[in-house]
Amino acid sequence: MKLNERSVAHYATCNSPPDKTGFLYKKGERNTAYHRRWFVLKGNMLFYFDEKESREPIGVIVLEGCTVELCESESEEFAFAIKFECTKAKVYKMSAESQAAMESWVKALSRASFDYMRLVVKELERQLEEVQEEARSLQAKNKLKKQSLRTAAPSIQNASGMGSEEEGLFFLGSSTRENGVTWNKPTSMANGISKGCAWEEDNYGKGDGLRPPPVPPRRKTNGGLLESPVSPDTECFSKLHDWYGKEVAELRIEWLQSQKTSALNA
């Protein structure tokens, strides 16, 4: 791989945010001692500088196709190696200042290659497809449920013979009706007698064998016919009570007179 030195140097020091930075000890090729260097990771390229303030890198490692392995040597504490598949490829050995720093660098370098990023993208695409498939399945179920409810609603309405509004009126009205007559609640109570009560006859119940309460027959008295309790002038229960009271009183008078007549004749 051929790299343009000026382009690489510019990329190493430009304002693009790095993926990771920090000090590591790099083992030299000729001088096998470890030298402290400042490392900058950008994408799949690992740059290293003599000092943190250096303006140009002294080297770069392209991490494509590499593996990062821990060194098992006891003399090399917190050390790891960057290896490539090619047998003649160079092996880079480095050491961190602590166990946590070593683990962080190994993790970052292992994920820096484009091959790893390609696998991550494929996995994310697979997860996205699964989520979209679940969303489509849920949407289809909700659509079928709505259609079934719309189909079932007319059949329920036809079976009951009335709509939802009519059903509400029916149940509200049924609680205050008896034999087709509506009973209005009393407006006041005085001495146990309800005031403002009236019977209102309507067409409810016709055709189903139900009829309103029968009208009491008119009775003949000495004074002639009494007023009918359901005449237009009878407006409340008190008048109905008074009417029957008068009838009872007149019948009592007739009975007393008949008793007196019987006693005189005897």
Burial 36-62 (b: 16+ CB within 10 A, else e): ebbbbbbbbbbbbbeeeeeeebeebbb
- R_g over Cα of the chain: 52
| pLDDT beneath 50, residues of the chain | 164-165, 167-176, 178-205, 207, 221, 224-228, 232, 234
Which residues, in sequence order, are CB contacts of 47 under 8 Å at separation 6+?
Answer: 12, 39, 40, 41, 57, 59, 60
The per-residue pLDDT of the chain, averaged, comes to 75
Dihedral of the alpha carbons of 242, 244, 247, 248, in degrees to the nearest 10: -100
pLDDT value at position 108?
93
Q: What is the 3-state secondary structure (H, E, C) of 1-52?
A: CCCCHHHHHHHHHCCCCCCEEEEEEEECCCCCCEEEEEEEEECCEEEEECCC
Q: What is the pLDDT of residue 219?
A: 52
Contact, 214 vs 199, CB < 8 A? no
167 three-class SS = helix
At residue 186, the pLDDT reads 46
Q: Each residue of 93-116: pLDDT tens digit?
A: 999 999 999 999 999 999 988 888
* pLDDT for the residue numbered 38: 96
Closest CA to 105 of 85, 74, 84, 78: 78
Q: How confident is the model at residue 174, as a pLDDT?
A: 46
Q: Give the model's pLDDT for residue 190.
A: 47
